[in-house]
Amino acid sequence: MPHITVLDQNTINKIAAGEVIERPASVVKELLENAIDAKATAVTVEIRDGGISFIRVTDNGCGIPADEVATAFLRHSTSKISSVEDLFTISSLGFRGEALSSIAAVSQVEVITKTGQSLTGTRYQIEGGAEKSIEEVGAPEGTTFIARNLFYNTPVRRKFLKTPQTEGAHVADLVEKIALSHPEVSVRFIQNNQNRLHTSGNHNLKDIIYTVYGREIASNLLPIQAEGGPVKIHGFIGKPVIARSNRNYENYYINGRYIKSNLIAKAIEEAYKPFMMQHKYPFTLLHFHIQPDFLDVNVHPTKMELRFRDGEGIYRMVLTALQNALSHKELIPEVNLEKQEKKDGLELRRQEEEQHSRTRFAEPFERARMERLHSSPENTVREQAAVTPKNKDDLFPRSADTLREEPAPYRMQAAAPSASPVKASLPAAAVPEKAAETGSTEGQLDLFREKLLEPSSRTRHKLIGQLFETYWLVEFDSQLFIIDQHAAHEKVLYERTMNSLKNREHASQAVSPPIILTLSEREQLLLEAYMDCFSRIGFEIEPFGGKEYAVSGVPVNLFSIAEKDLLMEMIDSLSEDSALTDPDAIYERVASMSCKAAVKGNHRMSAAEANELIDQLLTLDNPYACPHGRPTIISMSKYELEKKFKRIV
């Protein structure tokens, strides 16, 4: 049996360092957060080789007193807290006192620091946790940390690092997130002697979003402002047109700390669900200010996760704030044929370049082969036999490289990520360039825009007709609007059903014979948990013996489509939200079922029916996307059409 022994201090330090320092980005995170806690207004981060060989973080903060520099590198030494009670009111980014000791345990560290009250600064060197030197030097106010050769003394850990390019990308992403979390701090990032990022520190969050994410996202933002009890929220969310295929653009900060939270992510995606297609995720940049005693931040070594005292309240607040921001906005995507044509032109040029490249590289080999053929009759016979096809189909090989489909010059995309929201009566050329870049005049432009789906605009709609027995064309204010009759009718039925359920405006209709459902143990528990909700909205469900339940009544609006498969699908879908005992979960499933009764595509509607559908859209809070996230309406400007017909050059 092995003996129990106490580890030596060096091993203890390296194990502890492994919990905090995973890669160069971990070092940058700890040093950047320390700089912000030191009240710095400007911080410069410089790395080389992805931060593996060199990291330097310089700030203009308060500095470290000379007699405390060595102490700062001891484990559990900190200026942020002094007792266990302070953990429940902590507001700084760092507090455990493990960052500097962990960095020093696995790298060669040099620090130069000076406080405002000192005439000179201090230079301190520590390698692998062992002090090397300390001396007095001239220095500006603030602190500079240099970490060289990360994991130089733990080669096994170093082998698990990725390439310098990958590690550098992680550092860049981290610096961007911290810059976005503190718009009052000017952050500069230098990678391999090249400036990669420089924020102004002017407190303007939208300016930083523009710097980090670019024009397209900055010009498609909606402001968020909400307050309730101990919680305040402010920031921006993106319009559905800039949705992405992953969650990388969902950013949220709590008291200046970048964190990950399944609860907040679920609230964000639930709010966007009516506006976007499945497997698309929004852009968000939200700042939460929560009283410290309502949080527990001491749950993870890297402080990326935390717990809320009232998680359900946070969820509801985020959901409501985002729903309010998204509602009553005209979110009709505009078709831009010029962008698509440029994209197709670039693709065509790429194909031509590939073909040219293949030809250029093939010519020398073909010349050599022909020379061999002419130099010897025996070679001629042998070569021809090798290339002669065995059947006629081989004469015309259908190579994927040589027979690509020609790009369609007028391919239309309704909701491409690069599309911009409808400009109403303003043609694209009339939008000021600065507004297009930063969105800074969006509020002023909104004063002059008229919306298609406003009652005051209804009398000026010109219904042109039906296209492909699926789409209705409407002319309004120098715009052509195209309405998908199926998506629009789905949305009308969905919102009408949701409103009637929430307002208790429902009635039950008997089903004869009853629909018999056979449920698993989990499904039975789920049904029993929600039984009151089902009953309140018009379902009549009772046990039928064993694992079976009889459905003898359904809400009136579901009578024509009530089938066993649909009811089972609704119960199955509730399992995803089993943690939420909220009637809204039932309402949403019932309303989604009502969409099955919507008019389909390839169905001829009369003009009177189309006008009635448009009238019903006018009454909705969000008429621009169906319950599944597809657009109900797209638009094309007169200006765009005239450019395609060369009326405008």
The answer to whether the peptide bond before residue 513 is cis (omega within 30 degrees of 0) is yes
Task: Give CA–CA dist 642/9, Å, rounded.
Answer: 77
Q: Which of 5-9, 171-175, 419-423, 475-479 has the lowest mean pLDDT?
A: 419-423
Query: Is the pLDDT reported for residue 454 higher than 60?
Result: yes
Task: Give CA–CA dist 205/201, Å, rounded.
Answer: 9
When pLDDT is averaged across residues 257-276 and rounded to a whole number, the result is: 88
Phi–psi pair at 393, nearest 5 degrees: -65, -25
- Give CB contacts under 8 A, 24+ apart, made by 193-199: 193/48, 196/172, 197/172
Q: What is the pLDDT of residue 582?
A: 59
Per-residue b/e over 429-459, b at no fewer than 16 CB within 10 Å? eeeeeeebebbbebeebeeeeebbbeeeeee
Task: Tell me if 618 sits within 8 A of 568, measured CB to CB.
Answer: no
When pLDDT is averaged across residues 250-263 and rounded to a whole number, the result is: 89
Task: Give CA–CA dist 21/162, Å, rounded.
Answer: 14
β-bridge partners, 91 = none
Q: What is the pLDDT of residue 328?
A: 64
When pLDDT is averaged across residues 501-522 and rounded to a whole number, the result is: 80
Q: What is the pLDDT of residue 631?
A: 86
Q: pLDDT band at residue 236, thresholds of 50, 70 and 90?
A: very high
Q: What is the pLDDT of residue 380?
A: 45
Q: What is the pLDDT of residue 307?
A: 78
Q: Which two tokens stand for residue 604?
A: 């001829």
Q: What is the pLDDT of residue 12?
A: 64
When pLDDT is averaged across residues 378-403 and rounded to a whole number, the result is: 40
When pLDDT is averaged across residues 466-485 and rounded to a whole number, the result is: 89
Q: What is the mean pLDDT of the chain?
A: 76
Task: Tell me if 509 sits within 8 A of 540, measured CB to CB.
Answer: no
Fold of 443-649: formyl-coa transferase, domain 3 (3.30.1540)
Phi–psi pair at 353, nearest 5 degrees: -65, -40
Specify whether domain 205-326 bears CATH 3.40.50.300.
Answer: no
Q: pLDDT band at residue 291, thresholds of 50, 70 and 90?
A: confident
Task: Tell me if 100 sits within 8 A of 147, measured CB to CB.
Answer: no
Task: Give CA–CA dist 163/305, Å, rounded.
Answer: 27
More confident residue, 333 or 109: 109
Phi–psi pair at 24, nearest 5 degrees: -55, -35
User: Chain centroid to CA 121: how far?
Assistant: 44
When pLDDT is averaged across residues 518-543 and rounded to a whole number, the result is: 81
Kind plus residue range of the DSSP H or E element containing 543: strand 540-543
The residue among 123, 172, 139 whose CA lies nearest residue 61 is 139
Q: Which of 17-26, 300-309, 400-409 has the lowest mean pLDDT?
A: 400-409
| Residue 408, Cβ density class (10 Å: 0-12 exposed, 13-18 middle, ≥19 buried) | exposed
Q: What is the pLDDT of residue 9?
A: 63
More confident residue, 445 or 124: 124
Q: What is the pLDDT of residue 446?
A: 43
Question: pLDDT tens digits, residue range 181-205?
Answer: 999 999 999 999 999 999 999 999 9
Q: pLDDT band at residue 478, thresholds of 50, 70 and 90?
A: confident
Query: Is the pLDDT reported for residue 447 higher than 80?
Result: no
When pLDDT is averaged across residues 495-505 and rounded to a whole number, the result is: 74
When pLDDT is averaged across residues 517-534 and rounded to a whole number, the result is: 80
Task: Give CA–CA dist 410/312, Å, rounded.
Answer: 49
Q: What is the pLDDT of residue 289?
A: 92
Query: Is the pLDDT reported for residue 498 higher than 80?
Result: no
Query: Is the pLDDT reported for residue 110 higher than 90?
Result: yes
When pLDDT is averaged across residues 122-149 and rounded to a whole number, the result is: 95
The CATH 3.30.230.10 domain(s) of the chain lie at: 205-326
The CATH 3.30.565.10 domain(s) of the chain lie at: 9-198
Question: pLDDT tens digits, residue range 411-431?
Answer: 333 333 333 333 333 233 333
The CATH 3.30.1540.20 domain(s) of the chain lie at: 443-649
Query: Is the pLDDT reported for residue 258 higher than 60?
Result: yes
Q: What is the pLDDT of residue 14?
A: 61
Q: pLDDT band at residue 598, thresholds of 50, 70 and 90?
A: confident
More confident residue, 298 or 315: 315
Query: Is the pLDDT reported for residue 28 higher than 90?
Result: yes
What is the residue type of 238? G
Share of the chain above pLDDT 70, in %: 69
Task: Give CA–CA dist 530/614, Å, rounded.
Answer: 36
Q: What is the pLDDT of residue 81?
A: 44
Range ranked top by mean pLDDT from 163-172, 569-578, 588-597 = 163-172
Fold of 9-198: Heat Shock Protein 90 (3.30.565)
Q: Find the distance separating the first CA and the last CA of the chain, reported in whole Å.
A: 87
Q: What is the pLDDT of residue 384?
A: 45
Q: Which of 130-134, 242-246, 319-323, 370-374 has the lowest mean pLDDT?
A: 370-374
When pLDDT is averaged across residues 119-145 and rounded to a whole number, the result is: 94
Question: pLDDT tens digits, residue range 558-576?
Answer: 776 767 777 777 777 665 4
User: What pTM does this model have?
Assistant: 0.58
Q: pLDDT band at residue 500, thresholds of 50, 70 and 90?
A: confident
Query: Is the pLDDT reported for residue 360 higher than 50?
Result: no
Q: What is the pLDDT of residue 224?
A: 94
More confident residue, 304 or 427: 304
When pLDDT is averaged across residues 122-127 and rounded to a whole number, the result is: 96
Q: In 69-202, where do the E strands start and end? A: 108-114, 121-127, 130-137, 142-148, 186-191, 194-198
